[in-house]
Amino acid sequence: MKESAFSPTEEFALEQDNRDALGPFREEYYLPQGIVYLDGNSLGMLSKRAERTLMDSLNDWKRMGIDGWTQGERPWFYQAERLGACLATLVGADPDEVIASGSTTVNLHQLASTFYQPEGKRTKILADELTFPSDIYALQSQIRLRGLDPHEHLVLAASRDGRFLEEDDIIACMTEEIALIVLPTVLYRSGQLLDIPRLTEEAHKRGIMIGFDGCHSVGAIPHRFSEWDVDFAYWCNYKYLNGGPGSVGALYVNRKHFGRLPGLAGWFGSDKEKQFDMELSFSPAQTAGAYQIGTPHILSMAPLFGALSMFEEAGIDQIRQKSLQQTAYLMDLLDEELADHGFVIGNPREDARRGGHVSLEHPEAARICKALKDSGVIPDFRAPNVIRLAPVALYTSYHDVWRAVQILKRIMEEQTYERYENKRGVVA
């Protein structure tokens, strides 16, 4: 039996916190007293810096009115580009390849409408059966808009076990009928990290463009989209990046595609020098900024300036290192303390294949989540049987992880979860 690098004692957890180089960032966040928050892969917590930069924008509006578009510390007219440059360092892109804009699904619609060009035999989109449903809805819509049948023209790579995807199986689906591939970087249930460079290389060998949904990886895992030659990507900024509920999303477009006319044109995709010429002919920006559609959501962007400043200071590589350490520690504790309670760890154990959360499976998952929440641990439930637990490097302590497992152990030993209905809430 492999010897563990961890100890199940509380003293060990406290010792790890004392050694944690990222530990001081915890003081930057508003964390509810006595609560262990392990749902940062669904909605990250508010930081004091994010609060300040939001208030800065409100004060600019209060003081300057419409002049806030061009004056102040962060003129609104250029906010999307400035945030794009900050985000670019997290995904391995040039600053002009990333723009903060829209939302996850809106950005997917934009990118699919641009890069899905069915022609001849190539009329199908390849996705996977484990992806987040909103992506499927958008791709089905894009296929219908071209007069095609999604049942025939949307190919879903199958999972062998309902948890993971095998890259070989995805590659086998890359036939001469595929016009576009859209895949997640990390699977939202199981936390599996796909081999993005390999999948991109195999798609391009076959003349297929490929894009990725980075919602469950950006801010937790370093990417090198430009180096890997990914065609496009899109993600939300309210999970690991702590931009706030409904925060503006972001997208990446490889510079080799600059100059391509966006599928969904709008005035904020204009060359900024010409935008207010009010001409009826569209002059798109020669950057990822061309893929903006409408006026930026300034107050939804503002918290990101504060939130992202900490990622710049901490460094995404150090964040990833701690994330891997904490998820490994969490799994070790679950193995040690809860082996007899019917749990299955449904995420990859290997560091290279694991995202930022632990996927804990149990037939009573919904009611266990309710019991955890009432006991001061905030988890995340995903149907049909998954408890997602996400230690977030910038504000989750090792002691938090230890406490969460002790509380879960008590819930199972005392069977307090039986007081609850095994059914998810309206918002899971």
Binding site members for pyridoxal 5'-phosphate: 104-105, 132-135, 213, 216, 238, 267, 295
Annotated binding site: 104-105, 132-135, 213, 216, 238, 267, 295
Q: What is the 3-state secondary structure (H, E, C) of the chain?
A: CCCCCCCCCHHHHHHHHHHCCCHHHHHHECCCCCCEECECCCCCCCEHHHHHHHHHHHHHHHHHHHHHHCCCCCCHHHHHHHHHHHHHHHHCCCHHHEEECCCHHHHHHHHHHHHCCCECCECEEEEECCCCHHHHHHHHHHHHHCCCCHHHHEEEECCCCCCCCCHHHHHHCCCCCEEEEEEECECCCCCEECCHHHHHHHHHHCCCEEEEECCCCCCCCCCCHHHHCCCEEEECCCCCCCCCCCCCCEEEECHHHCCCCCCCCCHHHECCCCHHHCCCCCCECCCHHHHCCCCCCHHHHHHHHHHHHHHHHHCHHHHHHHHHHHHHHHHHHHHHHCCCCCCEECCCCCHHHECCCEEEECCCHHHHHHHHHHCCEECEEECCCEEEEECCCCCCCHHHHHHHHHHHHHHHHHCHHHHCCCCCCCCC
